[in-house]
Each structure stands twice: as C-alpha cells, then as structure tokens.
Amino acid sequence: MKRLKGPELKMPEMKVPPFVSDLYWDLRDRRLLPLVALVVVAIVAVPFLLGGSSEKSSGPSRVAVTPPAVSGGANNSTLVAVQAAPGLRSYHKRLSHRSPNNPFKQRYTAPQLDGSELGGELSSTSTTTTTTDSSNGKSTTTTTTTDTTQGGTAPKGPLNVYTVSATVQIVRTETKDSGGKNKSKQVRSGVLPPAPLPNKKTQLVAFMGISPQTQHPLFLVSDAVTGIFGESTCLSGAATCQLLEVNIGFPVTLVFGSGKVRYKINVLKVKAVSAGRYEPGKK
C-alpha cells in the first residue's frame, strides 16, 4: 500500500519542572518510591472497601432501653444535709509545737572563701619531724612539703589542643541539556574545621566542626546554594539557610546554581584528633 504524503506532525516536547525532578531523585535515592506507590494504592482502595462494608451493615438496628428503677419503700435511707461551719483554728493551737525565734538574730555564718576565687595562687604546707637516736645522741630532721591548689589556677606549661576530624563522601551529579547525567564520587578523610567542600575552587559549604549540644556536624552554607534536601536542621537563616546541622550517616543534597548540578554530602564519621600543643604566653 502507498502511504499518503502529507506534512509530518511533531509532538511537543514536555519538560519536567526542576522541583519535580529534584523530588523524584531524592525519593529514589532514599528508596521511598515503593512506599509512595503503596500509599497511592491504599488511598484509591479505601473508599471501595468502606463502601462495601457499609452496605452490609445498613440494616435497621435495635437499641434496648432499660427503664430506670423506681425507688420507694419503707426501708429507704434518708439523707440529711448538715450545714458546715469550718472557720479557722486558733493560731495558739496551730503553732503550739513550734518555738518562737528572733528574726533579727544572725544564725548563719559566712562561708570561708579565702583562696577559692579563680586564678588563686598555690599554697604549700611543710611539716618538720625531728627524730633523736638515743644510742649515739644524734638527731635527724625530716621536712615534708605538700603543695595544695586553691581555686582554678591555670597550668603554666604547654597544653595539648584537640579538634574534630571528619570523613565526608561527596557525590556530584550534573544534568546535561540532552537529558543525560554525569556522576562523580569522592571521599575525603581528615577534614579539619574550617574546611571548604567539595574543594577550594567550588566552595559549596564549609565544615565548621560539631555542635557542643548534639555532637552533630555543622556546615556553613554558601549563597550559591538554591535548594537543600535531606535530614538536616537549619540553625540560622530566614530566606536561605546559612548554618546547617546534619546527622552522621544521613546524606544531604544541595542544589548548586540553576539546578543542573547537585551535590550529595554524607558525613560518614567524626573523631577527635590532636591539633598540636599550645604554650600560654608564647606568640
């Protein structure tokens, strides 16, 4: 058969909105798509199940009413209302077991706070013991010195300084104009605060250590971030989040720029490490 010649019809190209694409990839990364499909099926099936059960139970219902018992007879008890007049007891009876005290007499002494202030000096106590040997007539003197610290005197020697080190996994996903995607993954260990991530050239976030209250990692978010998805808490920022708190082992997806590039940051572990020695008074 010969096909009739005519103009070729082109279907219009449909573009998915960026937020729908981000939501789909976030649900797919967290393996929540089967759960969403199950919820949709349940929403559709519940009205049919409820409608079938209501037709079976639509028959007339009977309610049994029990008439109240009629009180009467000669053996019924009689209630008598008595007027109550509580009043107040005399204070002589209420306070008879207590002895009066002079409110102007000082009964407490001030605590001894000598040397207990911060920056107090060291105090030493020396004990001298003299022993005499009766055989040769010589005496031996022994002196014992005990140093006690009063207050919170800071040590004068060098101090060991500690900080936190993080191991971070970063997955970069770039969407091409043709619809394809390029993915790259890197794992950085020994990340010390403050450290830009994923690198100094592309400073998406900065690792700022951990929160002293929750022990969770903290990130300072760049202004170039246009969207944040995942288990996280924004500690500062109204329109855009500036300080982000994340959970260890839970990835957070950050949308960079126009939305074609996404970074998934996952803090795998955090540990305390030595940051060197600090000597007070030394520049």
Model pTM score? 0.45
Structure-token pair, residue 133:
């040997």
d(C-alpha 217, C-alpha 233), whole Å: 11
Q: Which residue type, as a one-letter code, is found at position 38?
A: L
DSSP 118-176: TTPPEEEEEEEEEEE-TTT--EEEEEEEEEEE-S-PPPSS-EEEEEEEEEEEEEEEEE-
Residue with tokens 């994340």: 246
**Number of domains the chain contains:** 1
Q: Is residue 125 part of a domain?
A: no
For residue 166, give the nearest of 215, 234, 235, 230 by alpha carbon: 215
Q: Is residue 70 part of a domain?
A: no
DSSP 211-266: -TTT--EEEEEPTTEEEEEESEEEEE-SSS-SEEEE-TT--EEEEETTTTEEEEEE
* pLDDT tens-place values along the chain, 283 residues long: 555 555 665 656 667 677 777 888 888 888 888 888 888 888 988 888 887 655 555 555 554 555 555 555 445 567 777 676 666 667 777 777 788 888 888 776 666 666 555 555 545 555 555 555 555 555 555 555 455 444 455 566 788 888 999 999 999 998 887 878 888 999 999 999 989 999 888 888 999 999 989 999 999 999 888 888 888 999 988 778 889 999 999 999 999 877 788 999 999 999 999 888 887 767 6
What are the φ and ψ backbone dihedral angles of 266, each rounded to 5 degrees? -135, 115
Q: Is residue 22 part of a domain?
A: no
pLDDT single digits (tens) 10-54: 656 667 677 777 888 888 888 888 888 888 888 988 888 887 655
Q: Is residue 269 part of a domain?
A: yes
Contacts of 166 (CB under 8 A, 6+ apart): 191, 207, 217, 267, 269, 270
d(C-alpha 39, C-alpha 35), whole Å: 6
Structural domain range at position 204: 168-275
Report how far Cα 35 is from the mean position of its chain's Cα atoms.
27
pLDDT single digits (tens) 228-241: 888 899 998 877 88
Report pLDDT for 206.
92
Q: Is residue 216 part of a domain?
A: yes
Q: Is residue 227 part of a domain?
A: yes
Structure-token pair, residue 40:
């949709």
**Start-to-end C-alpha separation, the chain:** 95
Q: Is residue 106 part of a domain?
A: no
d(C-alpha 87, C-alpha 40), whole Å: 69
Contacts of 140 (CB under 8 A, 6+ apart): 130, 131, 132, 133
Q: Which residue type, as a one-letter code, is found at position 278?
A: Y
Q: Is 204 exposed, middle or buried (0-12, 13-18, 19+ CB in 10 A)?
A: buried
Report pLDDT for 124.
53
For residue 138, give the nearest of 128, 130, 149 by alpha carbon: 130
Report pLDDT for 172.
92
What are the φ and ψ backbone dihedral angles of 202, each rounded to 5 degrees? -110, 90
